[in-house]
Homo-oligomer: A and B are copies of this chain.
Amino acid sequence: MDEAVKLSLDEAWTLSVDILEGHGYSAAHAAAIARSVVAAQGDECHSHGLYRLIDCVRTLRHGGVDPRAVPEVIDQAPGVVRVDARGGCSLLAFETGREHLVEKARSYGVAVLAVNNAFHFSALWPEVESLAERGLVALAMTPSHAYVAPAGGRSPLMGTNPIAFSWPRPDGMPFTFDFATSVVARGEVELHRRAGKRIPEGWALDAEGRPTADPTAALAGALLPFGGHKGSVLSMMIELLAGPLIGDRLGHQTQPANGSGEGTPQHGEFLLALDPRSFLGPDAEARLQQAEALFEGVVVQGARLPSQRRHAARERSQAEGVAIPAELYDELVELRDGDGAQP
């Protein structure tokens, strides 16, 4: 980063809340979104960091999110809680349902939180990690818009459909992963296009369903799923669990908000929580310790655990704050102070 602006986490928080509230998000939504983007920025996940505030404002302007929606909690079944986001951002809906999910998982051993009708832009790892911090094992998935072709296919059908998992560790940060089921994020292709670079073989198809190394053709075509047929069916599972099972849309039944009023960006999210203490009773601590043998087995052979870099960045950010490109900072200040923002 040639020109960077350093912000303390407090400054990043205030900037985020000011932008969001200034454009009409309720205090509750602004806080939930700020928690997510500041956490991502602090973990140096730039693609889900402060940069996403621009998306939150643009989607609002295009009518793709209700910035003041009050999520509604529905006690769907003993092991299932639904939160209807009512067209608002998914993050407040998740926060509204989280303690219900925790309580159900502790009571029944396993429980599901279904978030419905939500505008969703965030990473899933802050959510599953927040459940692991409460001692639960958590799995989350959500569809996105149709950008990915099924393996063996020619045209976009599934979302980039991320899946995230978190496991509580007795001494330290949870074991957490969060990955898109496409080979790469769409943003990676966009970065190649901006840089005038070709994309590697195996990433994407053009609009005619032919393999392409041209990022512009790829953006007009389809990404490919990771891991061939295996990743493709995993992505289909995510569509089904976070779509029809919870009474919500499939990826290809959504579109980004586009200002025409025709965008239907809202969709669902599926979260599963498992309580080790319900599964194991007094053996829970010993079994969580046993799991450490797996993590040690990875590290001892020189391989990395997922989130290792992210957790290291978190420690740095808590001490030193975050750095964002000066250009992004200027854009965010303009968003805070410029036309459309309300004092």
Contact = CB atoms under 8 A, between A and B. Distances in A.
Interface of A: 76-80, 107-112, 114, 137, 139, 149-155, 157-158, 165, 167, 175, 177, 179, 181, 209, 226-234, 236-237, 239-241, 243-247, 250, 252-253, 272, 274-276, 278-280, 283, 287-288, 290-291, 293-294, 297-298, 301-304, 306
28 contacts: A76-B109, A76-B279, A77-B110, A78-B79, A79-B108, A80-B108, A80-B278, A112-B274, A112-B279, A137-B240, A139-B237, A149-B301, A150-B301, A152-B304, A153-B303, A155-B301, A157-B301, A177-B230, A181-B230, A209-B301, A227-B230, A227-B231, A232-B303, A233-B306, A243-B290, A245-B280, A250-B291, A272-B272
Given A77-B109, A227-B230, 8 more contacts: A78-B109, A79-B79, A79-B109, A110-B272, A112-B279, A153-B303, A157-B298, A241-B274
Q: How many copies, total? A: 2
B290 A244 contact: yes
A250 B292 CA distance: 10
Name the 5 nearest CB pairs between A and B, nearest first: A227-B227, A77-B109, A153-B303, A79-B108, A80-B109
Contacts of A239: 294
Contacts of A283: 247
A265 to B, nearest CB: 18
Contacts of A149: 301, 303
A279 B107 contact: no
A303 to B, nearest CB: 4
A204 B215 CA distance: 31
Which of A250, A279, A302 counts the most B-chain CB atoms under 10 A from its CB? A279
Contact of A294 (B177, B226, B246, B250): B250
B306 A80 contact: no
Nearest to A177: B233
A291 B76 contact: no
